[in-house]
Amino acid sequence: MIKNINIKTRTRNEFVDITAEIQSLIDEAGIKSGICHVYVPHTTAGVTVNEGADPSVMKDIQNTLTRLVPHKGPYFHTEGNSDAHIKTSIVGSSQAIIIDGGKLLLGTWQSVFFCEFDGPRHRRITVKIAGD
């Protein structure tokens, strides 16, 4: 089963918790055991799994990425979003998460985050759920 999650981001750099939306797709599919592939088909946005209980963790990650890869830099790409491309390469465009007992097999504090680096925009996240 392949489904899409549509999202509208509000700021240039934003991390959005999409765990509940993904779990809803798993529930809809009725999959009890398998794998969930989350893919972001954009070159300036990504996906990560990390701490979801304390929002300051995502802020720390955003701030560190901004410090490491500033918006303005000596970039060759002239569209003004080179930093977003680099941040996406660092974070990655996909995650594979095990499904067990009909639930995403995440750690106690983990959540799945869509990572916007060139917003605000309308984005699509593709989710493939396989299993039985």
Residue boundaries of the structural domains of the chain: 2-131
What is the third-level CATH fold of 2-131?
A: Jelly Rolls (2.60.120)
User: pLDDT at position 103, please?
Assistant: 98
pLDDT tens string 64-110: 999 999 999 999 999 999 999 999 999 999 999 999 999 999 999 99
Q: Where are the beta strands (DSSP E) in the chain?
A: 2-8, 14-17, 33-39, 45-51, 94-100, 103-104, 110-116, 122-131
Dihedral pair phi/psi, residue 109, rounded to 5°: -105, 0
User: pLDDT at position 82, please?
Assistant: 98
pLDDT classification of 23: cutoffs 50, 70, 90: very high
Q: Please name the residues in contact with 13: beta carbons below 8 A apart, sequence gap of 6 or more.
A: 62, 65, 66, 116, 117, 119
Tokens representing residue 116 in the block: 């916007």
User: pLDDT at position 57, please?
Assistant: 98
